[in-house]
């Protein structure tokens, strides 16, 4: 397949669908022959495609469909075959956390030297600085906010029950659309002592979201499985305390700058909500620690990491 135009831009209509159809039929990646070869081809997620004539880099965000199929509707065997094919032909794999790197090494037996960990970055403060003052936001101030799809993996049912158990008067605001098993997760509202204290916002525009986060009491993110956990970093950048899960990528990304709970233990989550509700000193400490920790996730260093990666690959390929 040849792709390209007179200016050298890579253009091919419907290439992703074609690649997936090809993989379903032939069980191998579709080789792309560009009209003008790039120096490096970076696929920012695993796709059934391979660019001929240059180093190929692939970012793998997580192995959740394989390791935790109960949290997904995807077919784990197909995902496994795709990742095996991608890993076999890639010159370098980028993992977004040490947790994901460890999972790849363990599950696929890949040499650690073929994986570069580059954490995601946030520029949320620059976004906030460009937003005009907002007089009204649909999200109540001083709330506990959860950002993300309402699904089993995000642990919404336990979070709702923990909020009830904590007896906090602060609102719990769930911002995000329905995902896998959303109805079952939200059924926990029927057990809540005060269901009116739980607000559901399936959608909110970006500017309102940033203002709501800035006014939140805390971001609560007791997820059961993540490859990274961007809400953790964004909350810290905005000066908001964070509650998240002990273990895995969430603890790695949070470092020592968040309140860590056992995501499988409703009482542990509830204890975290109580502490965040009442302990001003702890909240102040978490904000300070978060302000320092989030400096590790800045866009400048993010760019430098990729520049170094590409330079290393080009020096090897010459």
pLDDT at 1 over 50: no
The pLDDT assigned to 7 comes to: 37
pTM of the model: 0.93
The pLDDT assigned to 286 comes to: 98
Domain boundaries, the chain: 2-117, 124-297
What is the spatial distance between Cα 46 and Cα 48, in angstroms, rounded to a whole number? 7
When the pLDDT of each residue in the chain is averaged and rounded to a whole number, the result is 93
The tokens of 79 are what?
């995902």
Q: Yes or no: say if 242 and 146 are a contact pair by the CB < 8 Å rule.
A: no
Residue range 175-219, pLDDT digits in tens: 999 999 999 999 999 999 999 999 999 999 888 999 999 999 999
Distance between the two ends of the chain, CA-based, in angstroms? 25
The tokens of 261 are what?
């709970």
Cα-only R_g, the chain: 22
The pLDDT assigned to 129 comes to: 81
pLDDT at 6 over 50: no
Residue range 139-176, pLDDT digits in tens: 899 999 999 999 999 999 999 999 999 999 999 999 99
CATH code for residues 124-297:
3.40.50.2000
pLDDT at 110 over 70: yes
pLDDT at 256 over 80: yes
């Amino acid at each position: 397949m040849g792709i390209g135009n007179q200016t050298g831009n890579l253009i091919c209509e419907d290439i992703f669908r074609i690649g997936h159809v090809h993989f379903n039929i032939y069980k191998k990646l579709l080789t792309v022959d560009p009209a003008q070869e790039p120096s490096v081809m970076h696929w920012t997620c695993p796709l059934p495609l391979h660019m001929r004539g240059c180093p190929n880099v692939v970012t793998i965000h997580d192995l959740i469909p394989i390791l935790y199929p109960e949290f997904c509707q995807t077919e784990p065997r197909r995902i496994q075959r795709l990742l095996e094919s991608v890993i076999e032909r890639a010159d370098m794999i980028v993992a977004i956390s040490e947790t994901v790197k460890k999972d790849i090494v363990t599950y696929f037996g890949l040499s650690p030297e073929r994986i570069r960990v580059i954490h995601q970055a946030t520029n949320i403060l620059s976004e906030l600085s460009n937003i005009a003052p907002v007089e009204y936001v649909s999200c109540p101030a001083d709330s506990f906010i959860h950002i993300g799809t309402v699904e089993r993996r995000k642990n919404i049912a336990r979070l709702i029950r923990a909020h009830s158990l904590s007896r906090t008067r602060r609102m719990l605001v769930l911002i995000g659309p329905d995902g896998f098993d959303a109805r079952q997760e939200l059924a926990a509202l029927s057990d809540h002592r005060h269901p009116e204290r739980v607000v559901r916002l399936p959608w909110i525009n970006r500017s309102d979201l940033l203002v709501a986060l800035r006014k939140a009491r805390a971001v609560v993110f007791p997820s059961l499985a993540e490859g990274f956990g961007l809400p953790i970093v964004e909350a810290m950048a905005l000066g908001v305390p964070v509650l998240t899960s002990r273990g895995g990528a969430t603890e790695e990304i949070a470092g020592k700058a968040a309140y860590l709970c056992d995501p499988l233990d409703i009482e542990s989550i509830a204890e975290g909500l109580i502490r965040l509700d009442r302990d001003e000193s702890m909240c102040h400490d978490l904000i300070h620690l978060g302000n320092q920790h989030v400096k590790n996730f800045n866009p400048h260093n993010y760019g430098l990491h990729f520049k170094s990666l590409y330079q290393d690959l080009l020096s090897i390929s010459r």
